[in-house]
Amino acid sequence: MKEPILPIPSGDYVFANYRYLTAYNECISRIGQRQQTLTLLVGIFSGLITALILTRDIFRTDHSAIVWLMAGFPMASIILTFLNYKYETLISLLRSYLAELERAKDAHLSMPSYNCDAGYMRKANPPRYFHDLACGAMLLAYNAAALGTYVSICGHAIRPYRTVLVPVAVTALACFIAHLQLRRIYYTPKRETPGNPAR
């Protein structure tokens, strides 16, 4: 006797799974790009400081040239801060979307749900903050090293330009504070309704 042909299951979960995998892969990609900002930061600032040191003799005879090179430090700081803000915003948005899919037909009430469980988020967000803190600290360190190198190159013969010192220092501090504020856009699960308590 032949087995009865089972009806085709509802497409709700098929569509949800497809969308979930797509969004999940996108989220993983953004997390990887976010991690690469540290490598980008090290490469850019190390190159700028190396250029300062290797060409210091030129700067002693043509001091105006150093201004253009020093301008690279605040610009790089701003760009990297914008990139981190972009990645954090996209990651939070994608995780919010993933949480909506995990709530499909109240599946989060019967199965573990990473993006819907506030307990998981309380444990996951502090490590994410360490990345932003590391980026901010490195921005401060590299800009401080740049200012120190600039002052040492000037020595006693040339007075350091305030138009170089102040913008670099202020921008570095502002970018550091901006990295500390990135935790404000971290994803947190929605509060459940009284009839649908959070896990």
Q: Where are the domains of the chain?
A: 17-183
Q: What is the pLDDT of residue 74?
A: 94
pLDDT reported for residue 13: 60
Q: Higher confidence at residue 49 or residue 197?
A: 49
Mean pLDDT of 143-149: 92
Question: Which residues, including other chains, have CB under 8 Å from residue 198's CB and lie 6 or more apart?
Answer: 116, 117, 118, 189, 191, 192
Question: Quick one: pLDDT band at residue 122, thresholds 50, 70, 90?
Answer: confident
Q: What is the mean pLDDT of the chain?
A: 82
Output the pLDDT for position 196. Answer: 47
CA angle centred on 93, ends 187 and 108, rounded to 5°: 65
pLDDT, average across residues 124-137: 89
In 3D space, the residue among 91, 66, 69, 73 whose CA is nearest the CA of residue 155 turns out to be 66
* DSSP H helical ranges for 55-71: 56-61, 64-70
**Vertex 170: Cα angle to 181 and 152 (nearest 5):** 130
Which of these ranges, 7-16, 116-125, 163-172, 175-184, has the smallest mean pLDDT? 7-16
Predicted local confidence at residue 14, as pLDDT: 58
Q: What is the DSSP letter of 11?
A: S
Q: What is the pLDDT of residue 2?
A: 52
Query: How many of the other CB atoms lie within 10 Å of CB of 26?
Result: 16
Region for 58 from its dihedrals, namely left if φ exceeds 0, alpha if ψ lies in -120 to 50, beta otherwise: alpha
pLDDT per residue as tens digits for the range 148-195: 988 888 776 677 778 889 999 999 999 999 999 999 999 888 765 444
Alpha-carbon gap, residue 70 to 56, rounded angstroms: 12
Model confidence at 87: pLDDT above 60? yes
Longest dimension (CA), the chain: 101
pLDDT, residue 193, reads 47
State how far the Cα of 149 lies from the Cα of 112, in Å rounded to an integer. Answer: 53
pTM metric for this prediction: 0.79
Estimate the crossing angle of helix 162-180 against helix 72-102, to 10 degrees.
Answer: 10
pLDDT at 197 over 80: no
- Enter the tokens of residue 55: 């060409």
pLDDT at 79: 93
CA distances, 10 to each of 6, 16, 151, 156 (Å): 12, 11, 70, 79
